[in-house]
Amino acid sequence: MAQLVYSSKINKIRSFALILIFAGILLMYVGLIFKSREWLMVIFFIFGLLAIFASLIVYLWIGTLSLRAVPIVCPSCEKPTKMLGRVDACMHCKQPLTLDKDLEGAEFDEKYNKRKYAKQKEQASD
């Protein structure tokens, strides 16, 4: 089976939070360049702290989402993974996963997780 370029939603959000941490630290280091202009240094420090606090909020949010995620065993690599939404990818081998019987065998697409797609499908079945 072809490997997906897609990664699991949980890993994407965790990566974003990690980038926020590094960006915050980088902003604070840039602030050290402007020691002579204290007001500019303080602004960079504040933006750095805001980025780190934003990452804290994102990590708390993904933690609560991860608790609600459906734990499954990947049929391909047989490792435990978590699934958010109707379709997702295995965290380990990027195998496309779905719990929806209607989507089994269908081409993998993120649009299946959108509410707009679910409404269109529901209207078509009525």
pLDDT mean values, one per 10 residues, the chain (126 residues): 64 93 97 94 97 97 88 88 81 79 68 66 64
| pLDDT at residue 5, as a whole number | 63
CA angle 94, 66, 71 (to 5 degrees): 60
| pLDDT at residue 90, as a whole number | 83
| pLDDT at residue 108, as a whole number | 67
Entry pTM: 0.72
| Cα distance between residue 22 and residue 29, in whole Å | 11
| pLDDT at residue 11, as a whole number | 84
| pLDDT at residue 44, as a whole number | 96
Helix then strand then coil, % of the chain, to nearest 5: 60, 10, 30
